[in-house]
Structure 1
């Protein structure tokens, strides 16, 4: 075999380091985080798949089909037999749950009440323009929560809620949505019920006059900013004029 000089050896090492660096860069750029949840209780079941924090697919056991809640601008994804597999997972889950109850002598589950309940609108509010109210519930265990809506103290229907999504700490998040048309003075509420709550957690949203954009605010702001910049310019010009006279 031909022996390598020190210079050739160093060049080989540089090429190797460059190759390893490229491999590491490609590996870092290609990393993703996915999660698959298959869970159950006596009255509830869940089977969901998520990628990078976004729901990709979940089983709707009421509609008896697999749901793919993806925006229209992405390539659609479907998995053959996904719902049937989800049903089978539920049977396995409930069998395991019964065995665990026997082994642990029906040890009571730990319960965490929601750590935060927030209500807000999807878009900036304009009177008479359709919008969506969002009730964001997070930090609870076990899933799910029950969310109900009222308008001016009267119950309303037609809301929707996503399947529970697991957080990094093992608790869950759910989001309920209600389409509405803002009218001055209307009061909405979302009421959240959970096993760990002794009484429901309720948040209110009131459609106030401040929600209507003020057409006079923009010109006033621009005038104020223009006046301020003008005064600053005068002050700076006066300063340099005085300094120039001192130098001469």
Structure 2
């Protein structure tokens, strides 16, 4: 009897959430797409999440698992992951819907979270980190290191960079995005000018259990700048000569008189 009363009390506490449902249904729906056989299906993920840890609120938007934007709730604006997406990030037409999602998510945490505390196991994923360059490696030329973090759940992490075991300042923001299966991935960027003796490390700390993943990067198989330029010039020259030869052959072929039967 006492258990049933507790369940009834929990349901009564959830009733105030029902007033939000008509508003959520009132959000305009996108027109139904007309699919053709020659078109491929693509996935656009608009994922809102909230949690007790940091960050307490998040929104990510991805196209076929490639993140486009995350939402900075302190400034109420989209932040593009790449400069090419900056113009699209200025669109604010859906700001009311985003603020509604934020309020709804926070109320769910406040109203339902305490009722489920200790009753549902906490799902965790140990993050996996790897580091690579954004462009082909050339010593002495500016480049960007990318720290890619996968198998992340919940999305509570801090990312720090070190150069020869010394902390590095000036890294960009950490972009967190959702992927299929309700897990998350993250990207952190660091602008560098690589040298042969460099040793960089990306240190990822999972805040929920203080688990730490470390990925190292050292220069490998770099092409000297002058060698790369010579190789590209040689390839371009070879293609030019080949084009001239093919052109001459075609001219001779089409100018040859046709033999009569």
Q: What is the aligned length?
A: 193
Q: How far off its partner does 1:66 sit?
A: 2.5
Report the Cα distance in structure 2 between the residues aligned to 1:173 and 1:79, rounded to whole angstroms: 24
Q: How far off its partner does 1:111 sit?
A: 1.1
Say whether the 8 Å CA contact 2:70–2:176 is kept in structure 1: no
- Normalising by structure 1, we get a TM-score of 0.66
Question: What whole-Å deviation, never above 9, does each CA across 1:56-79 have from its counterpart, x for those lacking one?
Answer: 443112333223456548974654
- Greater RCO, 1 or 2 (C-alpha within 8 Å, sep 6+): 2
> Aligned ranges for residues 178-197 of structure 1 at < 5 Å?
178-195=190-207
Structure 1, unpaired ranges of 5+: 1-23, 219-248
Q: How far off its partner does 1:90 sit?
A: 1.9
Describe the SS at the equivalent of 2:36. Answer: helix
CA RMSD of aligned residues (A): 3.1
Moved more, 32-41 or 72-81: 72-81
Structure 2, unpaired ranges of 5+: 1-33, 232-261
> Aligned ranges for residues 81-96 of structure 1 at < 5 Å?
81-96=93-108
Compared CA separation, residues 75 and 32, structure 1 to 2 (3 A)? farther
Question: What whole-Å deviation, never above 9, does each CA across 1:145-188 have from its counterpart, x for those lacking one?
Answer: 21100112111111124432222222111011100001121211
- Normalising by structure 2, we get a TM-score of 0.63
> Aligned ranges for residues 196-207 of structure 1 at < 5 Å?
198-207=210-219
Describe the SS at the equivalent of 2:70. Answer: strand
Compared CA separation, residues 184 and 58, structure 1 to 2 (3 A)? closer
Q: How far off its partner does 1:40 sit?
A: 0.5
Number of the residue aligned with 1:244: none
Report the Cα distance in structure 1 between the residues aligned to 2:81 and 2:210, rounded to whole angstroms: 33
Structure with higher Rg: it is: 1
Report the Cα distance in structure 2 between the residues aligned to 1:76 and 1:172, rounded to whole angstroms: 23
Compared CA separation, residues 124 and 70, structure 1 to 2 (3 A)? closer
